[in-house]
Chain A
Amino acid sequence: MIKNKETYRQQKKVQNSIFTFLAFAFFIFSMLQLNIVPERIVRSIERLGYIFGNMFPPVTNEPVSLFTAAIESIQVAILGTILGVIISLFLAVLAAKNLTISPYLGYAIKGFAGFVRAVPALIWALLFIVAVGLGPTPGILALAINSIGMLVKVYGEALEEIDMGIVEALESAGASKVQVILQGVFPSVMKAFTAWSLFRLDVNIRYSAILGVVGAGGIGWELMKAAQMSRYDEALMVTIVIFGMVMSAEVLSEYMKKRANAASAQALN
């Protein structure tokens, strides 16, 4: 018994050393494959020093357009989130195993959501640009569809976890499907839904900041412009604005989550 334990520990140790060695070997191998060799590193560090030196002090020549671009990003995120939330609410009810009208429809929606989720938002933006042209619209649609991918999954999971007794109780009182969902199911999952939706808004604001780099509106394009002209001081300014957007989104969604929880905790009618 004790001996077994001892050998097991020994084995584990050997195994871990092998893992560590393999991890290190793969690291070196990857570096070589990417042609990251010492001289290149030294040269890039020089370049990085140059970039860094030129970043300060951050400036902007067009504060107004920078500001409008930042606002546009936020608006893209808001619309993408709202559309995503509304559509996901419907799809999630149809996708949840316990509420769906047909299991096949449920699988179809889940499969769709899984696919849509796996393609990154920026790639969706790229595809939508080809389909509908440049501007904020493809950005909004890209965020909406990528949000659907995630929200259908998490909403669906919340729905599948509800106590089916509630559904049975309301059904046995003669309530219709819509009544059961709005009166029984949604109050039970409201808190989870709110938290996830706010989380998604947070994520979407992050994404919206970079959608511009492929031409889907917002502040990303300002960054592209500054970087292409090698104006690192302007690029830093844009970066700081993006940082501010993302930070405030995080703080705001935290605050709203608390507020929403407080409101539902009041247990009003």
Chain B
Amino acid sequence: MKQEALNISNQGEKGLSATKPSKYSEYKRRRKIMLKSQGFITAIILLLAIWSIWGTGFNLLSLFFGTYEILVFIFTDMFPPDLTVIGQLIGPALDTLYMSYVGMVISVVVSLVLGVLAADNLTPHWTIARVSRAVTAFLRSVPAVVWAIILVSGIGLGPLTGTIAIGLSGIGILGKAYAEVLESIDGAQLEGVRATGANWFQVIGQAVWPQFKAGFVSWSLYKLDMNIREAAILGLVGAGGLGYYLQGSINLFQYKEAATAILMIFALILMVEYMTAKIRERII
């Protein structure tokens, strides 16, 4: 009905009937292409899902009973948390903090070297840059837990292991970040200082550091934030700190103690995040 009214109101009757079918077929053509590419993506996702369900023996129902079981577990076995163990937890919590911090310092020191070597504008030679980048890429792609597991069997249980593992994986992240910050430094300023006949150290101090400082501080603090989370779970494989305590209490079916340990991890994460945010504000 509306259709008629529209046609009447349009003067170019002939032109209209000539263009309209082709316009509609254009619409259909485009829609088909889009449906095809959407269908292709959906099909891939579906296939991946089916393949994964088949491979892992995952039962979709476990989504429901899993949710149910975890709720039951959390609310009957873990709740209320046993707060009397807080005293025993302060030691491991501090260990976690120390591990994160020392691990950060280790990765900062090593990453500074690797970063300078990897940055295109500061590297002594491009092959060195390549090698340095490969090392950081490798360290970045291997999770800290992997290092921790290997080190636990080599050096033994305890926080030293965790510290080294955190330090190693941190190099992967900070090495890359520092190199990128360094590469974004204004070259003209660098040249200016070089032109005054300054040596390498003077160039770094006068031209590089002022521009590098902000990126350096915020990336390092970000890494400290990350380290707390990592340190907390490294303990699960025996590398000391809160995670170790958590693993122990779960092995002994002391779930209410485990709940307290989790809350403690929580509190530690929040506290460190708050502090790093404050420090970042002050320095930058």
Contact = CB atoms under 8 A, between A and B. Distances in A.
A9 B155 CA distance: 47
Interface in A243-266: 243, 246-247, 250, 260, 263, 266
Interface in A64-109: 71-72, 74-76, 78-79, 82-83
B31 interface: yes
Interface stretch (B121-129, B181-189, B230-238): B230-238
Interface in A142-170: 144
Contact of A79 (B30, B58, B262): B58
B211 to A, nearest CB: 16
A246 B37 contact: no
Contacts of B33: 266, 268
A161 to B, nearest CB: 23
Contact of A239 (B146, B237, B262): B146
Contacts of A14: none
B55 interface: yes
A48 B154 contact: yes
Contacts, number: 189
Contacts of B70: 127-128, 131-132, 141
A82 B236 contact: no
A192 interface: no
A103 B125 CA distance: 58
Contact of A78 (B48, B77, B164, B232): B48
Q: Which of B59, B74, B150 has the most CB of A within 10 A?
A: B150
A122 B52 contact: no
B13 to A, nearest CB: 27
B142 A239 contact: yes
Interface string B28-50: 00110110010001000100110
A260 to B, nearest CB: 8
B269 A118 contact: yes
A126 B237 CA distance: 12
Interface string B128-152: 0000000001100111011001111
B30 A269 contact: yes
Contacts of A140: 56, 58
A34 B166 CA distance: 14
Given A27-B105, A82-B45, A227-B153, 15 more contacts: A27-B101, A31-B98, A33-B94, A34-B102, A34-B160, A36-B160, A44-B160, A119-B266, A120-B229, A136-B57, A210-B143, A220-B145, A242-B143, A247-B137, A268-B37
Interface of B: 27, 30-31, 33-34, 37, 41, 45, 48-49, 51-53, 55-59, 62-63, 65-67, 69-70, 72-74, 77, 94-95, 97-99, 101-102, 105, 137-138, 141-143, 145-146, 149-155, 159-160, 163-164, 229, 232-233, 236-237, 243, 246-247, 250, 255, 262, 265-266, 269, 279, 282-283
13 contacts: A30-B97, A40-B160, A79-B56, A123-B246, A126-B250, A130-B255, A137-B62, A140-B58, A214-B236, A223-B150, A232-B150, A242-B141, A266-B37
